[in-house]
Structures are given as structure tokens and as C-alpha cells.
Chains A and B, each alone.
Chain A
Amino acid sequence: MTLLDGLILLALISVLVTMLGYRLPVIGWLTSALFAGQLLVLFLMSGLGYGGDTIHSSVALSIFGQPLSWRFDALSWFFALITIGAALASSLFAAGEWGRQYRQNGGNPGLLQFSLALNVLTMLILLASGDLLALFIGWELVSWASFLLMAMAGGAAFSWAMRYITYATGGAMAILAGMGMVYQMTGSLQYADLMAVAGQLSQAQVVILSLLFGSGFAIKMGVLPFHLWQAGAYAETPGPGTAFLGSISSRMGLYGILVVLVQLIGLGRLIEIDISFTWLSLRDLLMWVAAITIILPTFTALRQNDARRLLAWHGVGQGGYMLLGIFSATALGSSGGLMHVFNHATYQAALFLSVYAVVHRTGTADLNKLGGLVTRMPLSFLVMLVGIIGLAGIPPMNGFVSKWLVYRSLLIEGMPLLFVASVIGTLGTILSVYKLIHNMFLGQLRAEHSEIREAPWSMMLPMLVLSLIVFITGFMPGLALDWVAAAQAAVGLPVLQHSLGGVEMEQGGLDMTWLVAVLFAGFGIGALLFYSTGKTRHVNQLDNYAGGHFLTADVRYHYSDHFYAGLMHRIGHWYRESFQWLESVLISLTGFVAQGASGFYRIVQPALLMLVVVVLALWVVR
């Protein structure tokens, strides 16, 4: 039995324990402990993260003549680390008071823990897959496990989960078709065989394969034009589930893309293929898709009035950076893309958890019904602040480092428009996250929230740890870049030479350790200046300038709705909801055809039909 077997066995045990003991009041703690155990096993395997040898599972099957095998390499380990970490944070968040309140409100925290454990198990199986068949099996398992998590809340979650699973099945079917083609080309579903023939495939074959696999995996990431399901489906999941899904679930699609498009087919093949009537290669096209995936969802997020939706839409948009980085196929860019997976998981989980901490206390995530909570939930505010700085990609948090790597590689590669597109995404993110933190934590505290308390420590702990990670990996990105470099080596991408502080390059590198140290020194001097002069007195929020108007507690003196009015004057009419329209047209068309199809069974006269059938059959046979 190898360590990998041990890991998956432990994950399986977690699933069984949560399945059998879902009624236990301590199930949350138990699950957290089990996740911690999985994390421990993963640390025992940590040699992988620093360039160690692949660990194979001792389980191997052969079904219908197809060998199935499982193994862990550096990439799998990297993703597994994020997966289990996110699950541990979510599970811990749900274990204590959150779970109790959830149960009081008619929810089933045990089921949530079970879904989390199941998701982790399926993801580990996916990450461990050693051939295409195992990959597909893992993929489908992950899809359906996420479906369970998304649907478990009931109500509106059902329709979103339905939407998700419809898209996901479409994606899975595209992958299945791709697998069928691979089988037809190579006579096997082994990675090695596909890699061996990848060089000889015709261009048309490469295009079809990349589109099938690419779109199949991209659906899980919510890449345009398959993005409509994600935000709603994630937002409707019960709190910690959202954090888990938002931080890692959709990245499984990225894992698939990394394995199939990058490792097996090779980006080099994609770069060779030119698309007729354009200047683009297939790789460039995919990069543009990634860039549009950054922009449109980010600006959709800007319009959301629900904190959960807003963050979920950003999750879609951030996926674009990862793709953009990885498709750049350079050491810098791909390390940026890969590191962004880690970074995004950490800050997104922190953000979702802090939003749910607020929801836990106030009962709403509506950005127009909150405000001023910083005095009541300062730690949650701190977590969200760290999170939004990370999400917006501003130093000193880790999100900046990965985005910097992506920008830098675009700069070196000479892709100005993509560079601008990615910066536009970042700017949109800054706007949107400020709205988030302002409408929730800043501004006027509502009278009904004046007695609110900070979230309990069981919820604070994972949030604080996550935000600490966000900061530390921003301060010393080398910690995470080690793993990223190992993952790069595992999928055959050029490996990034890095230092603890970032990247040293002659043409302009990055040393976060210095930058952050100087930044905090600057803050220190600023604080010194500030606190050495003049005493201040903290006043009530109603002691405020209102043109001489007397503010009273019953008057709402707060700006939240239609936050970027000026911007929306300009770009508001650019939101055409074309994709929504396209989706509804597709549904209507299908409905129309289906109407005809079922009409066949309603109106056909049996005798006449048979006559027609006979005549037609004979005519065809002729």
C-alpha cells in the first residue's frame, strides 16, 4: 500500500464516516479531523511538491481490456493540497456554531459535511488518474459530487444545480467524444500513447481534440461562453460549501486542461495551428477566450447586489487569468497561472467565509441591506480586506504575485491587447471589491445591526488562517512557487527560476520580500506621523456632515445601490445579456423540436403511419 492508497482510503473513510454519522452533533469536528488527517498524509507526500518521484497507487484494474491506473505527480499534489485545504477550512467553518444554526434553520449540516467529504474523495480520484479513462471517471464523479453539494440547499438551488448539471453533462459528453477519438487514433487511452502520437496528429485532429477536451473542461471552469451556470449555482450552495466550490471545484477543469491540452497534446501543437482569415493561432484564440472570460464575468460581478453572486462571478473571471497564464506557455506565465490557482483558492475561500460570517450574523448577503459592520465584526472585516486585496491583485497579497507573473509574461511575449484586457479585468475587480467591502463593512451601521457580535472563533479560525496564508504567500511567494515549479516540470512546461521573494530577472524582476517590507516600513512611518500629532475623539456615525442636516438614527445616510452610477451611464447599455439570450434561444429551439417530436406520438394515425413507413422503407432500400 502506497501513501496514495492511504490518502484515498482515508478520504473514503471520511465519506463513510460522514454518511453513517451524519446525525451526530460532533460530525463537523470529526470531519474536520479527518480532513486534517488527509492533509497530514498529503504532507507526508510533500516530496512531490519539491520535485519528488511520482507516487503510484497499487490499485490497478483492467475493464473491457482498458487498463486503469492511478498515480500522484507534482501537479496532482499541488491541486490536492488546495482541495483538502479548502475542504478543511470549509468543514471547520461549518463545524461549530454555523452548523448549529444551520440545523435550527432546517438544514442538515451532516449532509453538508458528507458532501464535502464526497467532493474531496472524488477530486482526489480525479487528480490521481493515470490515464484518460480514469480521468473521465474521476471527472464525472466530481461533477456529480458537486451537483449534490449545489442541490442540497433546495429551493432556488435546485434550478441552479439543474443548470449546472446540464452544462456539466454537456462538457462530460464532449470529453467522452474526445476520448473516443483518442481511442480511435491510438487504440488506447493511456497518457503515454497519446503523448507519443501527439506529434504526428494532423492539424484537424489536434483542433478537434483540443476543442472537445478544451470546451469539456472549460465548462467546469465557467469559461465563456459556458459561464452562465456558475455564479448562481455556487451562490445558492450553503455557506461553507460555496467557499469550497468557489475556491477549488471549478479548478478541476483547469487540471483537465493542464493534463490533456498541455501535457498530452502539448501547447506547441496548438501554437502551430493557424486559424484561417485571422492572425491568430489556435493557442492565441484560446488566450483570447481566456481574456474575455476575465472581462465579461468581472463586469457582470460589478453589477451584482448579492455578495455571494458578486464573489462567484469573480471566481469565473479569475479563471481567465489562470488560463491566460498557462496558455502563454512560458515559464513566467504558466507559473503565474498555476500559482493563481493556489492564490485564488486561498483568498476566495477567505472572502466567501467572511461573507458567510456576516450572513450568519445578519441573515442577509444583500449588499443594499448591510453596512458599517466593521465596528461589529472587525476580524471578519480584516479577513475580507486581505481577501479583496488578494482578489484585486494589489500588493502585498499573493494575488498580485500571480497576476504580475502573467502580466510580465504577456509583456515579454509582446501581447499588448491581452495585457490590456487582463488589466481591465483587474480594474473592474478593484471597483467591484470596493463595492463589496464598502457596502458590507463600511458606511453607516444599520440600527438593526447595532447589537451584532463578531463571528464565533470556530468560524474565525479558518478565516484568519486563510488570510494569513494569503499574506504570507504574498510576502514570500517563493514558498508557493516551489510547488508551482514542480508542477510545471510535471506537465512539461518550462520551469520558473525563482527566489523566495519572487523572480530575479535582468529585465525587471520582482522581489516581494523587499517590497512588502518597505511598504510596511512606510505604513510605520505614516502611523508614526499620524499618531504623534493631535489627539482624536471617536464620534458617533450620526455626527456627520450632511449640509447642516440633523442626522437621526432612523434616517439612512448611506450610499450602496447603483454604486457605480457614472460608469453605468457609460457602459450600462453594453450589458446586452447576449449569452442569456443565446441560452434561452437554444432552450426554446430545443423545446420547439421536442414539441414536434412528441407531437409525432400524439397525432399519428397508426394505419396511415404504417403505410408511409412501408413505402419509405421500400423506397430507401431500393
Chain B
Amino acid sequence: MMTLITELFLMPLVAFVIGLFMVLMMRKIGARLQRRVGPPFFQPLIDIIKFHSKETQISHGLIHDIGIIMAVGGYIAAETLLPVPGMDGIADKGGIIALTYFLMIPSLGLALGVGQCANPNGSIGISRALTAMLAYDIPFVIVIFGVSWHYGTTNLVEMVNYQQANGWGIVEMPILALAGLFTLQGIMGKQPFEIYVAPAEIATGPMVEMGGKYMGGLFIMQAFQFYTAGVLYTTLFLGGGENWPTFLMKIFIVVSIPIMIAYMFPRYRTEDMLRLMWKWPVIAGLIGLALVMH
């Protein structure tokens, strides 16, 4: 019991730290691709501290606050559902389906908070973000189905065990893994699928009224988001965590791929994103599914 509670506290903390490094990696990769130096090592943390140390901050109401709490808190809770080397948390109590829906809680919280800001730019951003979710979740659930079917379980711990005994999922279902990678781009909300942010058009959409610790909360959320995406993909396809060094390597590599793609693309319009997401990854997913289930 004590171990479990320790894990429950430790897992989000580890996730946050790793997530910060991932954010740093993203910014560094972006900078290097643009032939810049990029931010200093502690920049992600410094940004968060700065945001939280603002002296005059405005709130648009209780729901605005609760939105941020839900966004951060939801991710904190979700991290305990993701098994990492040595720590399973409560991964066996939910499984992949529960996790998928758990990950919607932070988004929903954010959406509520943004809604209360009474800024149409934010609402437009949320409408686009939700549409994007509709776009990438369809191939994503195909992938989830195929993976769960293949491993015969929805329990992430079991999946990891299976892969460590029988080889990585990416070897056995390469096409599904490809489709999964594609959707990862959408899940992480990076270019070319970040029309919902669109800084020059709708002033960063959901973030338009977020300043101070509100924005700081969103920066924390972003760290969690990167971590979650990386760990999830690793758990599904790359054998999960055997030990920390390989695990870290895997998740950083996983996250770096969408980021590298992101900095080479402009963005798609919402409808084009829908078409793209509903076409290629879905086709790949279905083929992969057919191969898995045949």
C-alpha cells in the first residue's frame, strides 16, 4: 500500500520532470532546424516559474480557474495510469480504454476554462481542437483496438510484459505502429495539425485569455502531454519500460519524431486535417488491423 501511494506521488513528478526535458528538446530541435541556438537548459522551468510569479493576474471566473486545475490535475491523475520501469501505479485498474478517456478530462477542463473567458477566439480554438480530436481519435481507436486485440488485453502492464517476452509490437504490427505514429502528431497538437492555436489568426485560440499562472498551468500541461504521448506509444509498440535508460531513450526518440516533422510544416486547415486523418492513417490502421486479426 505504501509503495503504491509513493508511486502515485512519484509518477506524476517523474512525468513532469521528463516532460520539461521533452519541451526543452522540442524547442532545441526547433531552434536547430532553424539554425538557431535555442533556449538555455532550464528555460522550460524558468518560463513556468515566471508565469507563476506574476503579481497582477486576472481571472474570468471560477470556471476559468477550475479549467486550469482540471487540466493539470487530470494529467497528474492520468500519469499514474501509465506504467514506467519499476512503477505500475494503478495501470492495472484502468487499462488503455480508460486511459484514452482519462486523457480527455484535461482537455475538457481546459475547454470549460476557455469557455468562461468569454473570448470568441478561445471558443473558436476549442471548436477546432475538438474537431481535431474527432479527426485523430478515429485512427487512434483503430490502433488501440488492433493493439489490444493483438496482446489480448487492455491492461498496459500486461502489454509490456507480453512485449518483453515476445518482442516489440512495432515488429509484429508495423503498419499499425505507423498509423499510430501518424496520429501521435495529432495527439501532440503540433504542426501541421495546430490550426486550433493559429497565433496570427485567432491569437493562440484556447490560450488567448490565459496569462500568469493560467498560462503556467498550460505549460505544465504541455510537459505532461509530451510525456504521455511518448510513454503511451512506447508502451503500445516499443516494449514499454524495461529499465530507465532504455525507456528514456525510447520515449525521447518517439517524441522527437513528431517534433521534427512539425518544424518542417506549415499547418493544415481543419477540413484538410480531417480529410488527411480520416484517409491515410485510417487506411493504414485498417490494413494493420486486418493483418493483426486475420
Complexed CA–CA distance, A529 and B65 (Å):
11
A572 to chain B, nearest CB (A): 9
Contact stretch, chosen from A26-34, A138-146, A260-268, A560-568 = A560-568
Residues of B contacting A395 in the complex (Cβ-Cβ under 8 angstroms)? 98, 101-102, 105
User: A519, B158: Cβ atoms under 8 Å?
Assistant: no
User: B77, A527: Cβ atoms under 8 Å?
Assistant: no
Q: Digit string of A2-30 for contact with B (CB within 8 Å is 1, else 0)?
A: 00000000000000000000000000000
Q: Does A431 contact B (CB under 8 A)?
A: yes
Q: Does B8 contact A (CB under 8 A)?
A: yes
Partner of A374, one of B61, B72, B104, B105: B61
User: A536, B52: Cβ atoms under 8 Å?
Assistant: no
Report A's interface with B, CB cutoff 8 A: 372, 374-375, 378, 381, 385, 389, 393-395, 400, 404, 407-408, 411, 414, 416, 419-420, 423-424, 427-428, 430-431, 434-435, 437-438, 441-445, 501, 506-511, 514-515, 518-527, 529-530, 533-539, 541, 543-547, 557-560, 563-567, 569-571
Residues of A contacting B293 in the complex (Cβ-Cβ under 8 angstroms)? 414, 416
Residues of B contacting A545 in the complex (Cβ-Cβ under 8 angstroms)? 119, 121, 203, 208-209
- Nearest residue in B to A433 (C-beta to C-beta)? B108
B71 to chain A, nearest CB (A): 8
User: B90, A518: Cβ atoms under 8 Å?
Assistant: yes
A410 to chain B, nearest CB (A): 8
Partner of B60, one of A389, A437, A539, A560: A539
Residues of B contacting A507 in the complex (Cβ-Cβ under 8 angstroms)? 152-155, 158
Complexed CA–CA distance, A393 and B105 (Å):
11
B91 to chain A, nearest CB (A): 10
* Residue of A374, A424, A442 ringed by the most chain B CB atoms within 10 A: A442
Residues of B contacting A506 in the complex (Cβ-Cβ under 8 angstroms)? 153, 155, 158
- Nearest residue in B to A372 (C-beta to C-beta)? B118
Complexed CA–CA distance, A251 and B57 (Å):
50
Residues of B contacting A414 in the complex (Cβ-Cβ under 8 angstroms)? 149, 293
Complexed CA–CA distance, A570 and B274 (Å):
7
Contact stretch, chosen from B35-43, B134-142, B258-266 = B134-142
* 10 additional contacts (CB under 8 A) given A416-B142, A444-B118, A544-B209: A374-B116, A510-B95, A521-B76, A521-B77, A526-B71, A536-B65, A537-B59, A538-B58, A545-B209, A566-B131
Complexed CA–CA distance, A522 and B217 (Å):
14
User: B118, A557: Cβ atoms under 8 Å?
Assistant: yes
User: B93, A515: Cβ atoms under 8 Å?
Assistant: yes
Residues of B contacting A570 in the complex (Cβ-Cβ under 8 angstroms)? 270-271, 274-275
- Nearest residue in A to B69 (C-beta to C-beta)? A526
* Residue of B62, B111, B123 ringed by the most chain A CB atoms within 10 A: B123
Partner of B270, one of A404, A530, A543, A569: A569
Partner of B69, one of A527, A557, A567, A569: A527
Complexed CA–CA distance, A618 and B105 (Å):
79
Partner of B80, one of A416, A518, A535, A564: A518
User: A434, B111: Cβ atoms under 8 Å?
Assistant: yes
Residues of B contacting A535 in the complex (Cβ-Cβ under 8 angstroms)? 55, 57
Q: Does B164 contact A (CB under 8 A)?
A: no
Residues of B contacting A445 in the complex (Cβ-Cβ under 8 angstroms)? 118
User: A567, B274: Cβ atoms under 8 Å?
Assistant: yes
Chain A interface SS verdict (over half): helix
User: B130, A522: Cβ atoms under 8 Å?
Assistant: no
Q: Does B75 contact A (CB under 8 A)?
A: yes
User: A544, B101: Cβ atoms under 8 Å?
Assistant: no
Residues of A contacting B76 in the complex (Cβ-Cβ under 8 angstroms)? 521-522, 525-526
Q: Does B117 contact A (CB under 8 A)?
A: yes
Count of residues in B whose CB is under 8 Å from the partner chain: 88
Residues of A contacting B158 in the complex (Cβ-Cβ under 8 angstroms)? 506-508
Known: A408-B97, A416-B289. A563 touches B74 (CB 8 A): no
Complexed CA–CA distance, A569 and B289 (Å):
29
Residues of B contacting A565 in the complex (Cβ-Cβ under 8 angstroms)? 127, 270
Q: Does B10 contact A (CB under 8 A)?
A: no
User: A523, B203: Cβ atoms under 8 Å?
Assistant: no
User: B152, A534: Cβ atoms under 8 Å?
Assistant: no
User: A534, B54: Cβ atoms under 8 Å?
Assistant: yes
Known: A539-B60, A547-B203. A525 touches B73 (CB 8 A): yes
Q: Digit string of B105-122 for contact with A (CB within 8 Å is 1, else 0)?
A: 100100110011111110
Residues of B contacting A510 in the complex (Cβ-Cβ under 8 angstroms)? 93-95, 98
Residues of A contacting B209 in the complex (Cβ-Cβ under 8 angstroms)? 544-545
Complexed CA–CA distance, A356 and B75 (Å):
34
Known: A389-B108, A514-B93. A443 touches B77 (CB 8 A): no
Complexed CA–CA distance, A560 and B124 (Å):
9
Known: A423-B138, A559-B120. A526 touches B270 (CB 8 A): no
User: B101, A522: Cβ atoms under 8 Å?
Assistant: no
* Residue of A437, A535, A539, A544 ringed by the most chain B CB atoms within 10 A: A544
Complexed CA–CA distance, A438 and B67 (Å):
13
A-B contact pairs, 10 of them (CB 8 A): A442-B63, A508-B96, A519-B74, A521-B76, A522-B73, A537-B58, A544-B117, A557-B119, A558-B118, A569-B270
Residues of A contacting B92 in the complex (Cβ-Cβ under 8 angstroms)? 508-509
Partner of A566, one of B62, B128, B148: B128
User: B77, A431: Cβ atoms under 8 Å?
Assistant: no
**4 tightest Cβ-Cβ pairs between the two chains A and B:** A566-B270, A442-B115, A526-B73, A522-B77
Complexed CA–CA distance, A407 and B148 (Å):
12
* Contact residues of B between 128 and 182, Cβ < 8 Å to A: 128, 130-131, 133-134, 137-138, 141-142, 145-146, 148-149, 152-155, 158
- Nearest residue in A to B272 (C-beta to C-beta)? A570
B109 to chain A, nearest CB (A): 9
A386 to chain B, nearest CB (A): 12
Partner of B148, one of A411, A509, A525, A529: A411
User: A443, B155: Cβ atoms under 8 Å?
Assistant: no
User: B59, A538: Cβ atoms under 8 Å?
Assistant: yes
User: B289, A536: Cβ atoms under 8 Å?
Assistant: no
User: A527, B105: Cβ atoms under 8 Å?
Assistant: no
User: B57, A511: Cβ atoms under 8 Å?
Assistant: no
User: A557, B120: Cβ atoms under 8 Å?
Assistant: yes
A225 to chain B, nearest CB (A): 24
Residues of A contacting B269 in the complex (Cβ-Cβ under 8 angstroms)? 566, 569
* Residue of B93, B121, B158, B275 ringed by the most chain A CB atoms within 10 A: B93
User: A564, B142: Cβ atoms under 8 Å?
Assistant: no
Complexed CA–CA distance, A570 and B268 (Å):
13
- Nearest residue in A to B90 (C-beta to C-beta)? A514
Residues of A contacting B69 in the complex (Cβ-Cβ under 8 angstroms)? 523, 526-527, 530
User: A538, B61: Cβ atoms under 8 Å?
Assistant: yes
- Nearest residue in A to B115 (C-beta to C-beta)? A442
Partner of B74, one of A431, A511, A522: A522
A383 to chain B, nearest CB (A): 14
Residues of A contacting B217 in the complex (Cβ-Cβ under 8 angstroms)? 526, 529-530
